[in-house]
Each structure stands twice: as structure tokens, then as C-alpha cells.
Amino acid sequence: MAPRTLAQAMELVSGCWHLDKQNQALMETYRAMSHELHKVQVEEETIMRKLYELMSAEGLLPKRKKESQAQKTGKSTQENKELEP
């Protein structure tokens, strides 16, 4: 090989090595971010469940259609259930 060609080949190898290291760093970052995202999603789900439990205990959840219709007509939910076939 001519010295010029050898130098170009070495540059290519060096460039590939840097790209490989960059790729490894990016993959590690991707894995870390993916793990953090999963943790945040689990935390969000837990918080939403607790919020639902709290709102349910405080009576702040919107009522179902049948329950609200029964209250409008003055019948209790139990009476509605007895009337349904």
C-alpha cells in the first residue's frame, strides 16, 4: 500500500472506531431514558389510582347515567335494580 492510501485507511478505521463508541454511548443513554420513562409511567399510574380512590371516598366522581336518572325521578338505585328485567 502506498503511504497515502495507508493513511486514508487509518483515518477510516479511526472514524469507524469513534462511530462505534458514539453508538454505544447512544444505546446506553437510550436504555437509561427508557428505564426512567417506565419508572415515571408506573408512578403516574399509582398516583392516578390513589386520586381515584380519594375522589371516590369524597364522593367527587361523576355519577353514572342510571344513578343520576334515578335521582331525578326520585327513585333509589335499589328500586331501579328491582324494576329492571
Give the whole-angstrom CA distance, residue 12 versus residue 1.
15
Q: What is the pLDDT of residue 35?
A: 98
Q: What is the pLDDT of residue 9?
A: 82
Give the whole-angstrom CA distance, residue 74 versus residue 79.
10
- Neighbouring residues of 75: CB distance < 8 A, sequence distance ≥ 6: 83
Confidence of residue 76 (pLDDT cuts 50, 70, 90): low
**φ, ψ of residue 2 in degrees (nearest 5):** -75, 150
6-27 pLDDT per residue, tens: 888 888 888 888 899 999 999 9
Give the whole-angstrom CA distance, residue 69 versus residue 45.
32
Domain boundaries, the chain: 9-60
Question: Is the pLDDT confidence value at 81 over 70?
Answer: no
